[in-house]
Amino acid sequence: MSTELTLQSPLDMHLHLRDEEMLKLVAPLTAQTFAGALIMPNLVPPVTTKESALAYKQRINDAKKYSDFEPYVTLFFQEYNYDFLKEIKDDIIGIKLYPAGITTNSEGGVAAIDAEALRPTLEAMSELKIPLCIHGETNGFVMDREKEFVPVYEALAKEFPNLKIIMEHITTKDSVELLDKYDNLHATITLHHLLITLDDVAGGMLQPHLFCKPIAKRYEDRDALLKVALEAHPKVMFGSDSAPHPKHKKECCGCAAGVFTAPIALQVLAELFEEHGKLDNLEKFVSLNAQSVYEFTPVEKTITLIKQDCIVPEIYEGFGENVVPMYAGETLKWSLS
Amino acid sequence: MSTELTLQSPLDMHLHLRDEEMLKLVAPLTAQTFAGALIMPNLVPPVTTKESALAYKQRINDAKKYSDFEPYVTLFFQEYNYDFLKEIKDDIIGIKLYPAGITTNSEGGVAAIDAEALRPTLEAMSELKIPLCIHGETNGFVMDREKEFVPVYEALAKEFPNLKIIMEHITTKDSVELLDKYDNLHATITLHHLLITLDDVAGGMLQPHLFCKPIAKRYEDRDALLKVALEAHPKVMFGSDSAPHPKHKKECCGCAAGVFTAPIALQVLAELFEEHGKLDNLEKFVSLNAQSVYEFTPVEKTITLIKQDCIVPEIYEGFGENVVPMYAGETLKWSLS
């Protein structure tokens, strides 16, 4: 007898697919197990026009290999006017705001996040019901960057009460506490931030494949994230932030930030939720919460996992690219059916 | 006209030279610019007998290439009895205590640092005036390990008031504060902990060549270290903790801890002390303080630095080994004459 778990239309609400050959390698690895994903716009150059958004969506659809997967594309935040946003609104799921230089390909982000300076764009988004996704870090000390961003989240939440704001890939208990304080603040949480702390990155040997931005924090932070994920807090959604970099850019001097979890995310989430006796909440965390936050209905897709060991590949290769996944070479307890 | 700086008998009071081919590569890189160095005993197996200490000293002397350099060897802390210590006392400069598993080759260290359990050995050392060098970290969260060790330092300082204790490679303001609290506590400080914080290791791209144990901490910690180093606090000595690992063990998945600074240490210290208008204190920090703490007279050796740019080699190679130095490929403001 085997234990099975079925999930209806799993969604990854924060995903990096990159472009060109890397896109071709990684898109199917998400499309296989998810019904849809919110795709980040930090390409070079970033996605800032209707043409580039639609063209990127087309390239993703060309690469995905599984027709029952829908990419939800986003714009890279800049000042946009009402008419432009009204015209593009139905083609995007949200707009992603990066503080300038805060992570991979974010050089064109916002230099100073000031509610007044951003007011015209944010009011237009608010009126048109376009969600604002934010990478919430200052340029302060690496362990304090997200905590220091809390006042910015609070100012935006208060100034734009009708704007739906998603705190992306939250990593601290401070961010978790904001969820119940402001109606219009929501959050995505990655797989790896539910599992690791800075100890896993730099407490023993240095582990470049676990180096990401925001960096993994303290045990009390991880536990706060785990609590709201396991209880499937209705304002919390799964967003892997799976971020592929080729092996030579991870295992080197000056390693790029990002953990590649796309092909193992559901299996490891099943293990984690089962371990805590919360398997019944997993579908809310990976699908239903996102549907109600973003108010959309995804493609119908049933994913079945079985309780059976599987070994994670050491590396995924193809199209002249390669990427090392989290848990490379290790054994997981759940497999795709 | 060029600016010159002469230093009498510089000393590196915390150095890893490893063994075999790596020893042959790195020993001359310290022996060129230092009159002596305290050599760490964490070989495989560790240095725990008179025979192995003397044999290691001989191998260092065979490899050093500069006759005006004296290696001061140490024993790896275990339970040792009075007679053994009396017999070996003149051949070693101190005994190094590692908590078990805390860093490279420390698996045979002390599992629980309890003053009562260690009393026979520590009382013998106290009586024989053998200094105790300590790697002061718990196995807690990576950013808290040294802070959590403070009570252990305090207990040992109080229980063994005549034992000279060296807090090795201190990285926090908490450790700095202990210096003025207990007569018998002293400290070494590395070059890199005077320069970097966790931001340099993991705040931008991940920098494996700056990954070390203890890990670099916060700005307020670095500033506290800098203050006592620049003022040449009499209980503070330079100890590079220069720790060579071959390039493939630094730029990889599971990178080893250690920064290799031996060949650039004096040049960068000159730059740092000059920048703060404290060049006059440099000789105390890199030589005189150690002489008075350890009560010895080093080989007479005059090192002259000149204010002239030099480029740090990308890598040091030889004997089939290689090692990447801190500031590889970068320009320093002071050169060896």
Closest C-alpha among B200, B196, B201, B115 to residue B163:
B115
Structure tokens at A314: 């050491």
B211 touching A, CB under 8 A?
Answer: yes
> What does DSSP say about strands A316-318 and A321-323: parallel, antiparallel, or unpaired?
antiparallel
**CA B290, B293, B295: angle at the middle one, nearest 5?**
90
Sign of CA dihedral A186, A190, A195, A196: negative
Q: Examine the pLDDT at A125 and tell me if it is beyond 80.
A: yes
CB–CB contacts below 8 A, A to B: 77
Classify residue A325 as exposed, middle or buried by CB count within 10 Å of its CB (0-12, 13-18, 19+): buried
Q: Which of B253, B255, B259, B330 to mutate to test the interface with A (most CBs of A within 10 A)?
A: B253
In chain A, residues with a C-beta closer than 8 Å to the C-beta of B143 are 143, 198, 218
Q: In A, residues 253-312, which contact B (CB 8 Å cutoff)?
A: 253-257
Residue A113 has pLDDT above 90, yes or no: no
Q: How many DSSP H helices and E strands does chain A contain?
A: 13, 15
Report the residue count for chain A.
337
Cβ(A232)–Cβ(A285) under 8 Å?
Answer: yes
Nearest to A208 among B143, B197, B253 (CB): B253
DSSP B239-305: ---B----HHHHSSSSBPP----GGGHHHHHHHHHHHTT-GGGHHIIIIIHHHHHHT--PPP-EEEE
Peptide bond into A208 cis (omega under 30): no
CB B212, CB B258: distance < 8 Å: yes
Q: Which two tokens stand for residue A95?
A: 């707009």
Average pLDDT of chain B is 96
- The whole-number pLDDT of residue B1 equals 56
Instruction: Choose, from B19, B241, B280, B309, the residue flagged as catalytic.
Output: B241
Known active-site residue B19: no
> Comparing C-alpha atoms, which of A226, A148, A228, A153 is closest to residue A194?
A226
pLDDT tens column, B99-153: 998 888 888 999 888 889 999 999 999 999 999 999 999 999 999 999 999 999 9
Predicted model pTM = 0.95
Q: Which of B34, B40, B119 is nearest to B74 (CA)?
A: B40
Angle at CA of residue A179, ends A174 and A182, nearest 5°:
110
Q: What strands lie across the sheet with A70-76, from one edge to the other?
A: A11-15, A36-39, A70-76, A94-97, A132-134, A165-167, A185-189, A236-238
Question: Cβ-count burial of A44 within 10 angstroms (0-12 exposed, 13-18 middle, 19+ buried)?
Answer: exposed
Q: Examine residue B10 and say whether the peptide bond preceding it is cis (omega within 30 degrees of 0).
A: no
Whether A277 shows a pLDDT value over 90: the answer reads yes
- How confident is the prediction along chain B (337 residues), in pLDDT tens digits per residue? 579 999 999 999 999 999 999 999 999 999 999 999 999 999 999 999 999 999 999 999 999 999 999 999 999 999 999 999 999 999 999 999 999 988 888 889 998 888 899 999 999 999 999 999 999 999 999 999 999 999 999 999 999 999 999 999 999 999 999 999 999 999 999 999 999 999 999 999 999 999 999 999 999 999 999 999 999 999 999 999 999 999 999 887 788 999 999 999 999 999 999 999 999 999 999 999 999 999 999 999 999 999 999 999 999 999 999 999 999 999 999 999 9
Task: Tell how far CA A155 is from the center of its chain.
Answer: 23
Kindly tell me the burial class for residue B133, based on how many C-beta atoms sit within 10 Å of its own C-beta (0-12, 13-18, 19 or more): buried
Q: Which domains occur in chain A, in start order?
A: 4-336 (3.20.20.140)
Report the C-alpha gap between B108 and B224 in whole angstroms. 32
* Partner-chain residue, chosen from B141, B201, B218, that has the shortest CB–CB distance to A219: B141
Contacts of B250 in chain A (CB under 8 A): 253
Burial of B129 (0-12, 13-18, 19+ CB in 10 A): exposed
A141 vs B219: CB contact, 8 Å cut-off?
A: yes
Asked if A222 and A197 touch (Cβ cutoff 8 Å), the reply is: yes
pLDDT in tens, A197-240: 999 999 999 999 999 999 999 999 999 999 999 999 999 999 99
Beta carbons of A206 and B255 less than 8 Å apart: yes
Check: CB of residue B28 under 8 Å from CB of residue B263. Answer: no
Q: Which CA distances in Å does A110 have to A78, A88, B236?
A: 7, 21, 45
Give this complex's ipTM.
0.94
Q: Which of B198, B218, B253 sits opposite A207 (nearest CB)?
A: B253
